[in-house]
């Protein structure tokens, strides 16, 4: 089985990658151009994954405690009958949840694009609830069939079934986290695009013309001859990665805007300001 630390690290990395991919795609930037390392993706995921990852860990801990309590409860007097009904109800609820997820995938989505992570989440919850409900029902039947003079038979699922279920749950978690991160990335990109003034203002000076064009960009020529400089203003710094500056025109829009990528070597100087 996968260690909890390995699973959490994998979820954090995938979240950071999916969020960066969605946010960059909104501005027309592919993640391969950014050249982020695994550590970069991990760091970019920490601020928004604390709540969902904490919930996953708490739910896992709670599920383990409930499983132990359920086994003890089934063995008590008159509990097997109630455990059987609970198991059947839980299995039915799981099948309904799984059916809702399939409905969104195969027929007509009923959730918004930013909440599409609810679809794999219902699939994961459905498979888990149906499987555990079936386990409770079978476990209760074995307890009920045991004679009073003999100890109850402990019916345990095979390692194969547990392994398959664990694999499905882990894949579902990555699917859920990926869709959630995708929605977070799009939301942050839209929020940023509506208020580009929160990004640092950039002025680029170059000895050769860079032919930068976009809404809000202003070009001025300074000096003459060999001392001539080209000054480009009206730019905002989106991100700096791998010795490249990713800039946006101040009048950037999702319909007509484009991102500008400048390596350090092409500019004489970059001036940044908070205004």
Write the pLDDT tens digit of every residue in 12-60.
Answer: 888 889 889 999 999 989 888 888 888 888 888 877 777 777 777 788 7
Write the pLDDT tens digit of every residue in 151-180.
Answer: 555 556 778 878 888 888 888 888 888 888
Write the pLDDT tens digit of every residue in 105-153.
Answer: 877 666 666 678 888 888 998 998 898 888 888 877 777 766 445 555 5
Tell me which range, 12-16, 99-103, 112-116, 194-198, is most confidently predicted by mean pLDDT: 194-198
Q: What is the DSSP track for the chain?
A: ---HHHHHHHHHHHHHHHHHHHHHHHTT--HHHHT--HHHHHHHHHHHHHHHHHHHHHHHHHHHHHHHHHHHHHTSTTHHHHHHHHHHHHHHHHHHHHHHHHHHHHT---S-GGGTTHHHHHHHHHHHHHHHHHHHHHHHHHHHHS-TTSPPP-----HHHHHHHHHHHHHHHHHHHHHHHHHHHHHHHHHHHHTGGGSPEEEEEESS------TT-EEEEESSGGG-EEEEEEEEEEEEETTEEEEEETT--TTT---EEEEGGG-SEEEEE--
Summarize the confidence of residues 177-194 as an average pLDDT: 88
Summarize the confidence of residues 76-93 as an average pLDDT: 79
- Entry pTM: 0.71
Residues in a beta bridge with 201: 236, 273
Structure tokens that stand for 94 in this block: 């799981």
């Amino acid at each position: 089985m996968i260690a909890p630390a390995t699973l959490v690290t994998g979820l954090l990395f995938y979240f950071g990658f999916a969020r960066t991919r969605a946010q960059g795609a909104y501005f027309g930037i592919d993640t391969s151009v950014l050249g982020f390392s695994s550590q970069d993706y991990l760091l970019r995921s920490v601020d928004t994954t604390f709540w969902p990852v904490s919930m996953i860990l708490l739910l896992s801990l709670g599920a383990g405690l409930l499983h132990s309590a359920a086994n003890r409860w089934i063995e008590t007097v008159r509990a097997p009958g109630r455990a059987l009904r609970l198991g059947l109800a839980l299995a039915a609820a799981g099948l309904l949840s799984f059916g809702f997820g399939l409905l969104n995938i195969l027929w007509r989505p009923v959730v918004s694009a930013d909440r599409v992570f609810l679809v794999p989440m219902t699939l994961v919850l459905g498979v888990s609830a149906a499987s555990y409900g079936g386990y409770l029902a079978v476990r209760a039947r074995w307890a009920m069939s045991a004679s009073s003079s003999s100890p109850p038979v402990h019916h345990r699922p095979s390692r194969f079934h547990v392994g398959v279920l664990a694999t499905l749950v882990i894949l579902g978690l990555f699917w859920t986290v990926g869709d959630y991160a995708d929605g977070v990335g799009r939301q942050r990109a839209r929020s940023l695009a509506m208020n580009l003034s929160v990004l640092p203002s950039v002025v680029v000076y170059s000895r050769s013309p860079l032919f930068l064009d976009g809404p809000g960009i202003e070009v001025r020529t300074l000096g003459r001859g060999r001392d001539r400089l080209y000054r480009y203003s009206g730019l905002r710094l989106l991100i700096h990665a791998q010795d490249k500056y990713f800039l946006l025109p101040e009048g950037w829009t999702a319909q007509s805007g484009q991102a500008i990528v400048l390596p350090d070597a092409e500019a004489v100087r970059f001036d940044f300001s908070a205004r």
